Amino acid sequence: MTTDKAKNKTGAEESVSESSAFKRDLLATLPSLRAFAISLIGRHDKADDLVQETIMKAWAKQESFEAGTNIKAWLFTILRNEFYSQMRKRGREIQDSEGTYTESLSTHPEQYGSLDLKDFRKALDQLPADQREAIILIGASGFAYEEAAEICGCAVGTIKSRVSRARTRLQEMLGVAGEGDYGPDAGNAAVTSRAFIH
Amino acid sequence: MFLQMKEPAPTEQNSDISQKLRSLYEAVQEEAIPDKFLDLLEKLDQAEQASRSTSDDH
């Protein structure tokens, strides 16, 4: 009985230090997690709601996190899953709010530093969500393709092609497309003929 | 002078995209963590410690 009690106490002490390490690592990852959420969603308020939800989920399941493994990838996975489950729940609401979002952008351009970045933000928001998350994870969050594939639950090749499609699409939208790749006219011609087929 | 003569290569257009993406991301990343998240973590931590010391007493 006394042995049991002593053992319990040691266990509790261990989890106190594990817990504070977890809290410390969670805190250290928050700025990046939040940057991911805001890049993904565009709106600070919705993104912060998502981050809050992620913190609570992560805290509740911290036992399932293996100390010493990549907490950043683990947290990003939780946030991403939460994002998609919310999107499924209220997909309509998110779509409907796009107009409001664009409007709020134009009244707060200083938030994005320059007009240039504002255009970029708009272009980013027009990408399909899977391409947007791929290019953010690889191009800004600093994950390797393998890690991004794990976060998104798909093959490495899928991530690579999403990133590549995202880049092409962004270049098209921002008007820097093509010339180097296809010569001055071929790229445009391809786009035009595609447009006529549809 | 050489810089002016150079045509923008596809990789440079790519890096323009990458650079903007990073600027956008880093602008948020450099913001201070909002207090509400710090408060939330503090509360979660306290709740956990409280429940742990309660279960230790029994």
Q: How many CA atoms lie within 13 A of A135 on its CB side?
A: 29
Q: What is the pLDDT of residues A161-176, one digit of tens each?
A: 999 999 999 999 998 6
- Contact call for residues A76 and A151 (beta carbons, < 8 A): yes
* Contact residues, chain B, for A184 at CB < 8 Å: none
Q: Got the DSSP string for B34-56? A: PHHHHHHHHHHHHHHHHHHHHHH
Which of A29, A55, A138 to mutate to probe the B interface, most B CBs <10 Å?
A55
- Contact call for residues B21 and A124 (beta carbons, < 8 A): yes
Asked if the interface predicted TM-score (ipTM) of this complex is over 0.85, the answer is no
Tell me the C-alpha distance between B11 and B17, whole Å.
10
Nearest CA in chain A to B10: A180
Helix axes A145-152, A156-173, angle to 10 degrees: 100
User: Domain range for residue B56?
Assistant: 32-58
Q: What is the pLDDT of residues A39-85, one digit of tens each?
A: 999 989 999 999 999 999 999 999 999 888 899 999 999 999 999 99
Which of the four pLDDT bands, split at 50, 70 and 90, describes residue A123?
very high
- Contact call for residues B14 and A167 (beta carbons, < 8 A): yes
Note whether residue B38 is domain-resident: yes
N- to C-terminal Cα separation, chain B: 79
Which of the four pLDDT bands, split at 50, 70 and 90, describes residue B11?
low
Note whether residue B26 is domain-resident: no
Note whether residue B36 is domain-resident: yes
What does the DSSP 8-state code read for residue B32?
A: P
Confidence (pTM): 0.73
Note whether residue B37 is domain-resident: yes
User: Looking at the 3D structure of chain B, how many domains does it have?
Assistant: 1
Note whether residue B55 is domain-resident: yes
Task: Name the percent of chain B lying above pLDDT 90.
Answer: 47
Note whether residue B23 is domain-resident: no
Cβ neighbour number for residue B46 with a 10 Å cutoff: 10
Q: Which domains does chain A have, with CATH numbers?
A: 1-96 (1.10.1740.10), 127-198 (1.10.10.10)
pLDDT of residue A68: 82
* Contact residues, chain A, for B15 at CB < 8 Å: none
